[in-house]
Structure formats: structure tokens, C-alpha cells
Amino acid sequence: MPSLDLGVLISGRGSNLQAILDAIAAGRLDARVRLVISNRPGVEGLARAERAGIPTRVLPHQEFTDRDGFDAAAVAALREAGATWVVLAGFMRLLTTTFLDAFPHRVVNIHPSLLPSFPGVDAQQQALDHGVRITGCTVHLVDAGTDTGPILAQAAVPVLEGDDRDALAARILVQEHALLVRALSWLAEGRLQIAPSAAPGGRARATIAGVDTALGFAQGGRAPEPVGEGA
Ligand code: GRF
């Protein structure tokens, strides 16, 4: 059975990185984190990696003249460290084909909405602004668009009365941690299948063989009331 040699890219807090490290330490995820790269120095995620004895690299994006330069440096560092899969765990930059072509169908992102709704920054506030009743999180493969790549798994999270951005983000984050670890464990089990689009220029589809990849209101939700007739 394959296990995953992961490179993890972060830009900040690193709680999703921590979920990965905890799952590996607990034997729930067959993977090794070979390298953590941050485009920002001094962030909490780097300290989390260091506490776990994981090698780290800081690649300040301002020091590169263009995105390709940053991406080429990241690819070189990941290859040198032995990473063959990459997780974007709160990494706040778009990647170019320089990066994506180096890890085809092997770059995974966690996003705090049910894509394709609310791609890009502050998906939780976008969900509140639109008044949706259900949002959640998505683990997907990364392509050259913003949060547009093939979806691997999703978890639903209800928007509750009185939610503000931080309350909603905190409840989604609990699901992110669980979903990301589960999705990675399916990848480690070799369950990923990619089906190219039948239509020219259409989307590839990713499926995870043999498991239910839609998680419901696992935490923080309410059971729906039955709808009475004529009410
Ligand atoms: C998460 O909400 C993730 O979905 C988004 O950025 C946030 C990162 O959180 N892409 P953390 O750094 O993993 O704590």
C-alpha cells in the first residue's frame, strides 16, 4: 500500500498542518511530512513543524521577481526533501504550471466552502454575505485556476442563527481538519482515480474508490425537523 511523502505549503497559523501531524503521530494517516514551506517568516505553522521535528524552509515571495521563480524554488526544495505529494494548508498564493506540472494530480488544497461556491479569499464571509444556510469545506486537487480543481471530498456545515465570520470559520475549521486527514488517508490507500473530461476542454473528475466522500453535519449541526404537511 502506498504511503504519502508530503510537502506542506503554509502561509500562517498551520492548524491544518497540525491536524496532519497529529494524525500521523496517532497512526491514523500513513504519511510522512518531508518538508514544510512557508512564504512568510515567523508564522505559527513553522513553529508547529519545528516542534514536530519536521524540516522547514521559508521562501519569502517578495524575494522572487515572478511567480515562476518562486514556484521553481519551491519545487526544487520539495524534490530535494523527497516529497511526492503536496498539501496546500492555508497557503495563500496561486501556483503556476511550473509547480503544478512537477506534481501532476498530486497537489491537494483545503478550502473553507462547498466549492464551486465561494472560491478565493474569505470564503466564510462570502457565505454569510450571500445568506446561505449550508456551507462547509472542500478538499480538491489543484489546477491553475482559483479553487477550481477536481473535488475529492466535501463536508457540510450549517450556518447558525447569529453566526459571525469567526464563529462560522471556527466550526468549519473543525470539519476541515477531519476532512483533510480523511482525504489524505484515502490517497495513501491508493484510492484516487482521475477521469479525464469527455468534453474537449472540460473538467477532469476525481473519484475516491469505495468510500463515501460527502460528510454531513458531523459536528455543530442540527438534525432537520420533519416538514409537516399544510403547516
Ligand atoms: C483554512 O481555513 C483553510 O481552509 C484556508 O486557510 C485557512 C488556513 O488555516 N485555505 P490554518 O493555517 O490551516 O490554520
pLDDT digits (tens, 9 = 90+) for 18-38: 999 999 999 999 999 999 999
pLDDT digit string (tens) for 91-124? 999 999 999 999 999 999 999 999 999 999 999 9
Domains of the chain: 4-215 (3.40.50.170)
| pLDDT exceeds 50 at position 221 | no
Could you tell me how many residues make up the chain? 231
Q: Which atom of ligand 1 is nearest to the CA of 19?
A: 13
Q: What share of the chain in percent tops pLDDT 90?
A: 84
Q: How far apart are CA 109 and CA 86, in angstroms?
A: 9
SS3 of residue 68 by DSSP: helix
Cβ neighbours for 41, distance < 8 A, ≥ 6 positions apart: 58, 60
Prediction pTM value: 0.92
Q: How far apart are CA 160 and CA 166, in angstroms?
A: 12
- Ligand 1 centroid–CA 180 distance in Å is 11
Q: Which atom of ligand 1 is nearest to the CA of 15?
A: 14
Query: What pLDDT, on a 0 to 100 scale, did the predictor assign at position 218?
Result: 53
Q: How far apart are CA 169 and CA 187, in angstroms?
A: 26
